[in-house]
């Protein structure tokens, strides 16, 4: 067989547990409660409204042409308008429309990370986020997360021990994926101080910030940074409208705009235009706020349902986080359950989740798992957690 | 001002002349004949049909969820079906749906190119293709194109002179962008031999192959390669349906499938799902063949109109290529016109094109330009070429 002349970095491309489980899920014929993917509830997707908007927008031939690389003017205006009365107000020269939040991360690591550079990630962290840093051959420093988010004191100690400062710090400060934890405002401020001291780029990935259903607002890193060029903010419509759209944006220093355009042209030329117009129409029509209200209420109810079910089925066996928004709960078994080994049994019982090790490049969470409470109704959540307990009992009896 | 800690490769991100001209175009209020972008004619975009399909597909909540990274099963099946009765027949394990052809190029260079690796490109070549190779810090070898496509003999001499073999060869064999030239079957076969001799990856980028309007079919590199793992084929719906969709595919060795999935997950997670479904619906509905027939007839007429207008206005002043398909003509002035300097004057006269130097990293074509005949009606083409002549006269009188 011909040997393909792969680049060195190809060996650093890590597979995602999420993907293999998706394929497995797709191949299963029987009923499965889906706690795995970070998708909005199907009934929370405003498909009817979007279809009506599509009826206008997708009938225009110019919707199928190339978009400007920085984004369609209508969507750019709509995003600026969305942020205008918030602490995250921004300006056109900071804005680039992207193919979801993921491309914002790809752009950030492409612009800032040379092979061997130190990049801080949270532990646990978003699988594809750390995977992208690795694909640019970063060396990762995994900093623990607790109920107040990234342990910034520990970060400082770890950087001192490493003997060199990080090129970039990758944080998901609000309703973190996968833990559900939010970074306290004190830690956010301290993180910004360290960023400035070190001259690192702070990649502020905040897909869930608009999905708070309880507790008090915490200012975003973007808002606290007040235009600091070191803060590179990544945002998306994936969680608040639909991930399949692949529409998000980057909010970054104006000095980066032309570089971002150049880098994005070499990735995908531009973001798909019909769905930029669809999202623009959704925002222009004033649909987002009501939609967010409905989602927040639903996700609040679902989180409580999941907490109740966990208490019923896993009290004493595991502990779990208590997020004030977003999609995810993080469950850690007290009793040494191997969640990768558990996965197939759980699927056979009819419940899917993501094993903890998917969220750590060095696989630090063999006894944890991520549950998405957003995608299932309270009744299904109750059923899914009961099935998870049966799966755990089944492997513990072996 | 804070110094941003950019990666080394950030200095290799080249801006595209196409983009700045697009912005310039967008800012112009007056009537402009648009020969610049490589877009299908607005009247050739099947917007009505797509809108009707959207009315069904975009009303389904599951269309807004994540797609499988390798692509939505319906679109994958439809693409396999499209190729089934052709010499480009392929199989599921070779197929990955991408965000247009551009992402196929990003994937290829990401998987195969280490910094300093030699990459062959045609000269002239597609701007964003060479830009992507440069963004992975390739060293480029620019091989001249003539009426029979890449000069493969010259390639062999240049590689001998370089004293090392290329890691990858980037070719647009059919109705090349920007020249419109097609590589002869003899050259295709010789290029495949050299590829095997050198163990290089042959990136076979063929966006226009289905748009032949005269002359005889030439087998694609994919078809000639007959499953050779070294051939990496990049395809797209951009030119045959609409570039704004950002839907294309890669057809590559099955041993690359998992790496491609991993790499794509770290780029954009998956390709947008609603427009994958839209394209699937278009193909399933049997709309493509009739649509291609209409397009081919229109582009044939438009090419002739452009050739006639060039003969009328530029005989003796310039020479131009005679493509048998695709979108582009390549015009070279015999009399030393600087086409970058000409650009603003041409815009003021009401005609846009892309200067030749945009298609060469080392700017070898100061006296050439690319004209897209696909986007304008014959009447507008006649008008645009007349305006171009006025612009040339205007700068020559200075």
The DSSP result for B309-349, as a single string, is HHHHHHTTTEEE---SBSSEEEEEETT---HHHHHHHHHHH
Sort strands A33-34 and A351-352 into parallel, antiparallel or unpaired.
parallel
Smallest Cα–Cα separation from B328: which of B187, B218, B227, B181? Answer: B181
Residue of B nearest to A117 (CA): B7
Answer yes or no: do B58 and A64 touch at CB < 8 A.
no
Interface test with B, best of A1, A2, A3, A4 (most B CBs within 10 A): A4
The beta strands (E) that lie in A99-236 are given as 118-123, 139-146, 149-150, 168-171, 201-205, 231-236
In chain B, what residues touch A112 (CB-CB under 8 Å)?
A: 4-7, 10
Percent of chain B surpassing pLDDT 90: 89
- Asked if residues B356 and B125 have their Cβ atoms less than 8 Å apart, the reply is no
State the pLDDT at residue B41.
84
State the pLDDT at residue B25.
54
In chain A, what residues touch B241 (CB-CB under 8 Å)?
A: 64
In chain A, what residues touch B60 (CB-CB under 8 Å)?
A: 47
Which tokens in the block code for residue A22? 């998706």
State the pLDDT at residue B188.
98
CB–CB contacts below 8 A, A to B: 297
pLDDT in tens, B284-299: 999 999 999 999 999 9
- Asked if residues B260 and B69 have their Cβ atoms less than 8 Å apart, the reply is no
∠ CA A269-B339-A271 to the nearest 5 degrees?
10
* A13, A256, A273 member nearest B259 (Cβ): A13
Phi/psi of residue B156, nearest 5 degrees: -60, -45
CA–CA dist B395, B398 (Å, integer): 5
The domain limits of chain B are 8-45+290-396, 66-285
Answer yes or no: do A267 and B113 touch at CB < 8 A.
no
* B5, B242, B261 member nearest A200 (Cβ): B5
Answer yes or no: do A54 and B50 touch at CB < 8 A.
no
Fold of A8-45+289-396: 3.90.1150
- Asked if residues A303 and A326 have their Cβ atoms less than 8 Å apart, the reply is no
In chain B, what residues touch A102 (CB-CB under 8 Å)?
A: 265-269
Residue of B nearest to A4 (CA): B230
In chain B, what residues touch A23 (CB-CB under 8 Å)?
A: 68
Answer yes or no: do A246 and B272 touch at CB < 8 A.
yes
CA–CA dist B163, B141 (Å, integer): 12
* A1, A13, A64 member nearest B245 (Cβ): A64
Give the contacts of B226 (CB within 8 A, at least 6 positions apart): none
Q: Report pTM.
A: 0.96
Helix (H) or strand (E) holding B232: strand B231-236
Domains A8-45+289-396 and A64-286 share a fold: no
Answer yes or no: do B13 and A262 touch at CB < 8 A.
yes
* B60, B67, B128 member nearest A47 (Cβ): B60
Answer yes or no: do A135 and B259 touch at CB < 8 A.
no
State the pLDDT at residue B86.
96
Answer yes or no: do A7 and B110 touch at CB < 8 A.
yes
User: What distance lies between CA B343 and its chain's CA centroid?
Assistant: 22
State the pLDDT at residue A158.
98
CA B281 to each of CA A313, B52, B242, B275, B278: distance values in angstroms, whole numbers, following the listed order: 45, 10, 14, 9, 5
Fold of A64-286: 3.40.640
State the pLDDT at residue B20.
46
CA–CA dist A103, B186 (Å, integer): 41
- Asked if residues B222 and B192 have their Cβ atoms less than 8 Å apart, the reply is no
* A65, A245, A258 member nearest B272 (Cβ): A245
In chain A, what residues touch B22 (CB-CB under 8 Å)?
A: 66, 68
CA–CA dist A334, A342 (Å, integer): 15
How many H helices and E strands in chain A? Answer: 13, 14
CA–CA dist A366, A1 (Å, integer): 37
pLDDT in tens, A59-75: 999 999 999 999 999 99
Helix (H) or strand (E) holding A370: strand A368-372
Q: According to CATH, what is the number of the domain B66-285?
A: 3.40.640.10
DSSP A68: P
- Asked if residues A368 and A124 have their Cβ atoms less than 8 Å apart, the reply is yes
* B68, B114, B268 member nearest A8 (Cβ): B114
Query: With a cut of 70, which residues of chain A have pLDDT below it?
Result: 1-2, 15-29
Answer yes or no: do B47 and A39 touch at CB < 8 A.
no
Answer CATH for B8-45+290-396 from 3.20.20.70, 3.40.50.720, 3.40.50.1110, 3.90.1150.10? 3.90.1150.10
Q: What is the complex's ipTM, to 2 decimals?
A: 0.96
In chain A, what residues touch B114 (CB-CB under 8 Å)?
A: 7-9
* A9, A199, A244 member nearest B63 (Cβ): A244
CA–CA dist A330, A149 (Å, integer): 13
**For residues B329-358, b (16+ Cβ closer than 10 Å) or e, as one string?**
bbbbbeeebebbebbebbbebbbbbbbbbb
State the pLDDT at residue B29.
56
Nearest C-alpha of chain B: how many angstroms from A338?
24
Query: With a cut of 50, which residues of chain B have pLDDT below it?
Result: 19-21
């Amino acid at each position: 067989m011909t040997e393909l002349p792969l680049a060195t970095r190809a060996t650093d491309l890590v597979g995602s547990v999420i993907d293999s489980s998706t394929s497995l899920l797709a191949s299963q014929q029987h009923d499965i409660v889906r706690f795995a993917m970070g998708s909005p509830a199907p009934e929370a997707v405003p498909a009817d409204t979007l279809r009506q908007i599509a009826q206008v927008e997708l009938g225009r031939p110019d919707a199928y042409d190339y978009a400007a690389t920085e984004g369609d003017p209508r969507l750019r205006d709509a995003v600026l308008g969305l942020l205008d009365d918030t602490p995250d107000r921004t300006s056109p020269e900071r804005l680039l429309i992207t193919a979801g939040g993921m491309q914002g991360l790809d752009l950030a690591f492409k612009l800032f990370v040379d092979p061997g550079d130190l990049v801080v990630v949270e532990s646990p962290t978003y699988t594809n986020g750390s995977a992208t840093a690795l694909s640019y051959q970063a060396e990762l420093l995994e900093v623990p997360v607790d109920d107040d988010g990234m342990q910034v004191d520990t970060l400082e100690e770890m950087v001192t021990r490493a003997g060199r400062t990080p090129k970039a710090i990758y944080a998901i400060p609000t309703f973190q994926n996968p833990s559900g934890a939010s970074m306290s405002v004190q830690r956010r401020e301290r993180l910004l101080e360290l960023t400035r001291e070190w001259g690192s780029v702070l990649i502020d990935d905040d897909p869930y910030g608009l999905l708070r259903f309880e507790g008090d607002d915490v200012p975003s890193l973007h808002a606290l940074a007040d235009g600091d060029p070191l803060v590179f903010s990544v945002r998306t419509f994936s969680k608040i409208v639909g991930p399949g759209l692949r529409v998000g944006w980057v909010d970054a220093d104006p000095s980066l705009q032309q570089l971002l355009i150049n880098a994005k042209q070499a990735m995908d030329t531009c973001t798909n235009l019909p769905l930029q117009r669809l999202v623009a129409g959704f925002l222009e029509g004033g649909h987002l706020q009501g939609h967010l209200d409905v989602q927040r209420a639903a996700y609040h109810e679902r989180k409580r349902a999941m907490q109740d079910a966990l208490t019923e089925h896993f009290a004493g066996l595991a502990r779990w986080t208590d997020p004030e928004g977003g999609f995810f709960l993080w469950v850690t078994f007290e009793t040494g359950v191997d969640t990768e080994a558990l996965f197939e049994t759980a699927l056979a019982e009819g419940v899917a989740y993501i094993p903890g090790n998917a969220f750590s490049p060095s696989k630090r969470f063999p006894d944890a798992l991520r549950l998405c409470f957003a995608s299932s109704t309270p009744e299904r959540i109750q059923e899914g957690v009961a099935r998870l307990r049966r799966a755990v009992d089944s492997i513990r009896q072996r």
